[in-house]
Amino acid sequence: MKKEYLIYKLSEEMKEAARIDNELFSKFDVKRGLRNEDGTGVLVGLTKIGNVVGYERVPGGGLKPIPGKLFYRGYDVEDIAHAVLKEKRFGFEEVAYLLLSGRLPDKEELSSFSELINENMPLEQKTKMNIIELEGNNIMNILARSVLEMYRFDPDADDTSRDNLMRQSIELISKFPTIIAYAFNMLRHATLGRSLHIRHPREKLSIAENFLYMLKKDFTELDARTLDLLLILQAEHGGGNNSTFTVRVTSSTGTDTYSAIAAGIGSLKGPLHGGANIQVADMFHHLQKNIKDWTNEKEIDAYFTRMLNKEVYNKSGLIYGIGHAVYTISDPRALLLKELARELAREKGKEREFAFLELLEERAIATFGRIKNNGKTVSSNVDFYSGFVYELIGLPQEIFTPLFAMARIVGWCAHRNEELTFEGKRIIRPAYKNVLEEENYVPIKER
C-alpha cells in the first residue's frame, strides 16, 4: 500500500471516528467549550488576580449587558491607564508588580523592580545564538523553543517554591521582549536579506522603549507610550481565557515553569485566540481597497451585509474585531486604546484612515444587530484597534501575536504562581463522556 494512500485512508477513517451526534451533547448536558447555554463560562476555579465584567445577573437568572470593566487585583484598569497617560510615564512595570505581588508598589519598590527587570533582559549567549540559527517564519514557535531553552540554564528549573517561582517569573517577563526582537531581526535577515541587528537592551529604558530600540532602534515617545498602554491592557484577562487556562492546567500537574509557559504560547498562537489582531488588520486593508467612498455609510453597510452573508472577503461570515465572549456593551481596553490611537494617527498623518476605522466600527455594530437580529449586544474589542496601532508604530504583522505574549506573560506567571501556591491545589481533570459501545476484540487473522 502506498504511503500517500495510507495517509488518505487513515484521514478518512479519522473523520468518521471523530463524528459525534449533536443531540448527545444536550442529552448528557455537556458544556461544549466549557460554556453554559447562556454563553457564560463554566465556573471551574477561583482567583484573586483578574476580573472581566461584561454583564450582571438579574432576578430570574437572566443576563443584563453592562459597560465592560477589567480589574487587576481589584483595581479598575481604566484608573491605572488614565493615571499613566495623565502623568506621561510608563506603567507596564507597575502592572507587572501589581499582578505578581497583589499590591501596588511605592516609588522605591517600583524603581528597584524596574532595575531588576532591566538587569535580566540580556539573554544567555547560547540562547542568543540559537535564535539566530533557528529557521522558520513563525516567531511564536521560536519564542516557545527559546523558553524551553531557558530550562537548560536554570539550575533550579524544577523548583516550585515561592521564591523560585517569583525569580522565574521576573526572568521570563524580562527576556520575552529580547527574544521577540532578536527573533524578528533574524527572520528579516533570513527572508529579506536585510542586515542582522542585535542591539543589547539599554539601562534606564522601560520595557516598551527597550523593545522598540532592540527591534528597530528609531521610535517616538508616543510610539513607546502607546505600546506601553497595549502591554498594560493585554497583561491579564482572567483565568478562563484559553492560554491562561492552559498554563493553569499544565501547572496543576506540578510541571516546571518553562513547560507550562511554552504550553501557553502554543495556545495563544492559535488564530481563534491570539491571532485576531492580524485578521482585523487584513480585513481593514481589504475594506480600504473595496470601499470606494470611506465616508459613505450606505456603501459600508452594504459591504458588511455581504460579509455577514458570506459573499465577500474571506466568506467566513465574520466581521473581525466585533464581539467578545464576555464584554457586551463595550470593551474597556478598546475604549482606552482608541484614545491613544487617535493621537498616534494625528502624529503619523493617518487621520483619514483613523476616521474610516472609526466609522467601520460604528457601522459594523449596527449592521451586525440588523442582520443577526438575535437580541445579542455586541461591541468592538481591543483587537479592532490594536493591529492599526501596531502598524502606525511601524511594527510588522509577524510580531503582532508575539507582542500579545510579551504582555500576557505577566498574567500567565501570576496565575501559575497562584495555582501552585494555593494550599488547596488539585490537578485539573475534567471529565469526557464516552459515547461509543464496547466492542469484542477480533484476532488479526479473522479481520
274-391 carries CATH number 1.10.230.10: yes
Classify residue 420 as left (phi > 0), alpha (psi -120 to 50) or beta: alpha
pLDDT digits over 275-285, tens only? 888 999 999 99
Domain ranges in the chain are 90-271+397-419, 274-391
pLDDT digits over 118-163, tens only? 999 999 887 877 777 766 679 999 999 999 999 999 999 999 999 9
Fold classified for 90-271+397-419:
Citrate Synthase; domain 1 (1.10.580)
pLDDT category, 423, cuts 50, 70, 90?
confident
Catalytic residue, candidates 228, 324, 331, 415 = 324
pLDDT category, 347, cuts 50, 70, 90?
very high
**pLDDT score for 134:** 67
Report CA 113 to chain centroid distance, whole Å.
24
This prediction's pTM: 0.94
**DSSP per residue over 68-115, as a string?**
EEEEETTEEHHHHHHHHHHHT---HHHHHHHHHHSS---HHHHHHHHH
Question: Does the annotation count 29 as an active-site position?
Answer: no
**pLDDT score for 139:** 93
For 25-66, the three-class secondary structure string (H helix, E strand, C coil) is HHHCCCCHHHECCCCCECCCCCCCCEEEEEEEECCCCCEEEE
- Nearest in space to 363 (alpha carbons), one of 375, 351, 353, 371: 371
pLDDT digits over 3-55, tens only? 999 999 999 999 999 999 999 999 999 998 998 888 888 999 999 999 999 99
Distance CA 334, CA 382 (A): 4
- Beta bridge partners, 56, equal 64
In this structure, what C-alpha cell is assigned to residue 35? 460554556
Distance CA 123, CA 323 (A): 39
- Nearest in space to 83 (alpha carbons), one of 347, 385, 336, 408: 336
Question: Does the annotation count 383 as an active-site position?
Answer: yes
pLDDT digits over 216-260, tens only? 999 999 999 999 999 999 999 999 999 999 999 999 999 999 999
What CA–CA distances, in Å, run from 364 to 122, 143, 348? 44, 35, 25
pLDDT category, 93, cuts 50, 70, 90?
very high
